[in-house]
Amino acid sequence: MARVPKSDGRNPRKRPDGRSLRARRQRKSRRAQVLESALTAFVEKGYHAASITDIITGASIARGTFYLYFESKRAVFEELLGGYLKRISEVVSRVSLEPGAPSPEAQLSANVNRVLDVLSANQGLNELLLRQAVGLDADFDHKLDEFYGRLLDYIQGALDLGQRMGMVRADDLDTRLLATCVLGSVKELVNQYLVGDRPGEGEGELDRDMAVRVIISYNLRGILQSPVA
């Protein structure tokens, strides 16, 4: 377990590249460097296949340096994913009924737009969110359940509100199920168009405007009591 150098300890390490430590660090914090490299590794190889070696090689740091900033491979993943979940959550705001507030539909649209903004800007993290974190372990399952649960609550809340306002049809359809459908349609859209492919590869690009329109229109038309005029 413990290293037993036994002797001298004169083991001068030559730094292969000329850059000084400080120089390397200045560009961006080591921590961020590791996070970035880890994200790349996770996206390219998947959580399990990505090794610490992949991460540190990508970040051009030594093995020990990794553990200086993170407790384990799992911890980096957790930070990447957790941070992303937080950022997405923060961008979703409950529909406001204040007198001067925009129409519920407009608010919904704005929410979708903001979420898609975040998602579009983080293709790599989408891979973690929608693929790597799925079924990873009980802990992450719980984390995701909570996250999606909050989103479902939000959507269902909006639907219930709409029903009370007479804007959403109030037949016998369970609003929780409806909310699930709405969530699923967005997830799948993101899954098909905002995962994996590095931006600019031309394939799988998502037309943002079209996407928002599809999401809103598709969902609303199915939900609104009567077609919009």
Partner DNA sequence: TATGAATGAGTCTTCATTCAT
Partner DNA sequence: CATGAATGAAGACTCATTCAT
- From DNA, a second copy, none, which one binds at residue 181 (CB under 5 to 8 Å depending on kind)? a second copy
Q: Is 57 in the site for DNA (CB under 7 A)?
A: no
Q: Is 74 in the site for DNA (CB under 7 A)?
A: yes
Number of helices (H), then strands (E), in the chain: 10, 0
**Measured distance CA(155)–CA(52) in Å, rounded:** 39
Site for a second copy in 6-25 (CB under 8 A): 6, 9
Kindly indicate which of the ranges 20-28, 85-93, 102-110, 132-140 contains the residues binding a second copy, using the contact rule CB under 8 A: 132-140
**Measured distance CA(223)–CA(203) in Å, rounded:** 32
**Measured distance CA(210)–CA(212) in Å, rounded:** 6
Q: Is 213 in the site for a second copy (CB under 8 A)?
A: yes
Q: Is 102 in the site for a second copy (CB under 8 A)?
A: no
182, with CB counted inside 10 A (0-12, 13-18, 19+), is buried
How many residues does this entry show for the chain? 229
Kindly indicate which of the ranges 4-12, 17-25, 55-63, 157-165 contains the residues binding a second copy, using the contact rule CB under 8 A: 4-12
Kindly indicate which of the ranges 91-99, 103-111, 153-161, 212-220 contains the residues binding a second copy, using the contact rule CB under 8 A: 212-220
For residues 50 and 41, the answer to whether their CB atoms sit within 8 Å is yes
Quick one: CA torsion of 155, 208, 114, 161, rounded to 10 degrees?
A: -30
Classified as helix, coil or strand, 224 is strand
> For DNA, what does the binding mask look like between residues 30 and 49, x meaning CB under 7 A?
x------------------x
For residues 69 and 34, the answer to whether their CB atoms sit within 8 Å is yes
Q: Which of 38, 43, 58, 73 lies at the binding interface for DNA (CB under 7 A)? A: 73
Q: Contact positions toward a second copy, by CB under 8 A?
A: 1-2, 4-6, 9, 46-49, 71-72, 74, 127, 130-132, 134-137, 169, 171, 173-174, 177-178, 180-189, 191-192, 210-211, 213-215, 217-223, 226-227
